[in-house]
Amino acid sequence: MAVWEVFAMRHFQPNRRPAARQEADDLPGFGKPPCRELPTEDPDGFREAVVGWFDAVGRPYPWRETTDPYAILVSELMLQQTRVETVLERGYFERWMRRFPGVGELADAPDEEILKLWEGLGYYRRARHLREAARAVVSRHGGLFPRDPAEIRALPGVGDYTAGAILAFAFDRAAPMIDGNVARVLARLFDFNGSIEGPAGRRQLAEWSGRLTDPRRARRFQSGLMEIGQRLCKVRRPQCPDCPVAGFCAARAPEHLPVKRERARIEEVAEHVGYFRGEGDRVFLCVESGPRRSGLWRLPPVSAEEHGDAEPLLRFAYSITRYRVWLHVHAMPASALPRGEGRWVSRAELESVALGSPYRRALRSLVADAGFNGR
Ligand code: SF4
């Protein structure tokens, strides 16, 4: 019998269920175990259920094997907007920590190198924030990561959530800590029907998080709650029968929670870029100047006048925020080479330059299809 099932037997006693929540339990075809009490009515029991489950089945992520606050900061910034699987399977965290094992190494790192290590994760501002935070630790704290909550919160790129994560995972200190997974779990546990994105909803979540955080085992409690959100309390298909906190959960229709603002509609846009080939194995690249991928290399943009009516060599779509971008890659003569910053890059060099993901994908496809000089 799994350890958390022993917990369930000890803690989930149906006869302790309040009558007021009977109605929720009687909904047909729901599959969710009955709610016996809210987490705030038995915070110790709730913490025990979360920590017990985590101790039994929590995943051994590499950032959980350390209490180094710098490593925790790296993992937290990587995991903002990026799935755990992507960071793990493609080795981003290990590569970064091998190259920049401490704030001293990162503080001196050149732009090109940090962007290359971040390539494919997107939202490149995060990589620069990390370096700015490393520089601040060096200049303000003599290279020693601060322990004071206000000093941690004052580091570049560190918001309330990241500060809470550093306090919990590095120093085992209790602080409110709400990411998307925890927000979803809390909204469902309390059957919260207000928007979690407005100020009132955010305040309410912070209040619950602050009251429930385990003061003695903050690291394991916060890890457990996040992992319940990630693995069981899923957005569309919550796995309620397997959930260790089902006995504390008042949600009647969890798949409809949390309530969020209506998402902006996806907009389709077209992007046209040029594939300029030079002598030998070389392709012309220029520097991205937009806010999202600033500093990365890219295929140069071309206007409708420049590319004319000719069929593009390649066309595919990629997503960025609320846009679905159709990228058109046109074969362009050297005479139409754009003015401004750029450079010829050989085939051998291509893998080592920091390149925006859509352009990397386009170049890999062109190289594979036709050989670098083939067309
Ligand atoms: S999976 Fe989510 S909705 Fe289902 S019982 Fe657990 S906390 Fe509640």
Range among 50-59, 81-90, 277-286 rated most confident: 50-59
% of the chain residues with pLDDT over 90:
66
Packing angle of the helix pair 199-212, 43-57 (nearest 10 deg): 80
Instruction: Provide mean pLDDT across the span 51-66.
Output: 96
* Whether the predicted pLDDT of 45 surpasses 50: yes
Q: What single letter denotes the amino acid at residue 268?
A: E
Is 166 a pocket residue for ligand 1 (Cβ < 6 Å)?
no
H-helix or E-strand spanning residue 38: none
* Whether the predicted pLDDT of 367 surpasses 90: no
* Distance in angstroms (rounded) separating the CA atoms of residues 111 and 133: 14
Is 183 a pocket residue for ligand 1 (Cβ < 6 Å)?
no
% of the chain residues with pLDDT over 70:
89
Verify cis geometry, omega within 30 degrees of 0, for the bond prior to 258.
yes
Q: If you measure from the C-alpha of residue 172 to the centroid of ligand 1, how many angstroms do you get, rounded to a whole number?
A: 26
- Whether 225 and 208 have beta carbons less than 8 Å apart is answered as no
Which protein residue's CA is at the shortest distance from atom 5 of ligand 1?
246
Instruction: Provide mean pLDDT across the span 187-195.
Output: 95
Q: What pLDDT does residue 54 have?
A: 97
Tens of pLDDT, residues 83-121: 899 999 889 999 999 999 999 999 999 999 999 999 989
Q: What pLDDT does residue 338 have?
A: 78
Task: Residue 92: count other Cβ atoms within 10 Å of its Cβ.
Answer: 21
Question: By mean pLDDT, which of 21-35, 65-79, 202-216, 338-352 is the weakest?
Answer: 21-35
Q: Which two tokens stand for residue 132?
A: 């700015």
Is 11 a pocket residue for ligand 1 (Cβ < 6 Å)?
no
Best CA proximity match to 361, nearest among 321, 325, 327: 327
Q: Is 91 helix (H, G, I), strand (E, B) or coil?
A: coil
* Whether the predicted pLDDT of 371 surpasses 50: no
Q: What pLDDT does residue 366 have?
A: 86
Tens of pLDDT, residues 210-229: 999 999 999 999 999 999 99
Q: What pLDDT does residue 321 have?
A: 81
Q: What pLDDT does residue 368 have?
A: 64
Q: With cut-offs at 50, 70 and 90, classify the pLDDT of residue 339.
A: confident
Tens of pLDDT, residues 243-273: 999 999 999 999 999 998 777 788 999 999 9
* Whether the predicted pLDDT of 2 surpasses 90: no
Decide which of 355 and 24 is more confident: 355
Instruction: Provide mean pLDDT across the span 291-313.
Output: 85
Which protein residue's CA is at the shortest distance from atom 4 of ligand 1?
240
All domains of the chain, ordered by start, with CATH? 11-256 (1.10.340.30), 267-370 (3.90.79.10)
H-helix or E-strand spanning residue 324: strand 323-332
- Whether 127 and 114 have beta carbons less than 8 Å apart is answered as yes
* Whether the predicted pLDDT of 297 surpasses 70: yes
Which atom of ligand 1 is closest in space to residue 238's alpha carbon? Answer: 1
* Whether the predicted pLDDT of 20 surpasses 70: no
CA-CA distances (angstroms) from residue 35 to 22, 251, 270, 276, 350? 8, 8, 50, 64, 57
Best CA proximity match to 276, nearest among 166, 372, 138, 192: 372
* Whether the predicted pLDDT of 360 surpasses 80: yes
* Distance in angstroms (rounded) separating the CA atoms of residues 351 and 368: 14
Is 165 a pocket residue for ligand 1 (Cβ < 6 Å)?
no
Q: If you measure from the C-alpha of residue 354 to the centroid of ligand 1, how many angstroms do you get, rounded to a whole number?
A: 42
CA-CA distances (angstroms) from residue 318 to 104, 287, 310? 36, 20, 22
Q: With cut-offs at 50, 70 and 90, classify the pLDDT of residue 369.
A: low
* Whether the predicted pLDDT of 130 surpasses 70: yes
Q: What pLDDT does residue 176 have?
A: 87
Enzyme catalytic residues: 76
- Whether 353 and 345 have beta carbons less than 8 Å apart is answered as yes
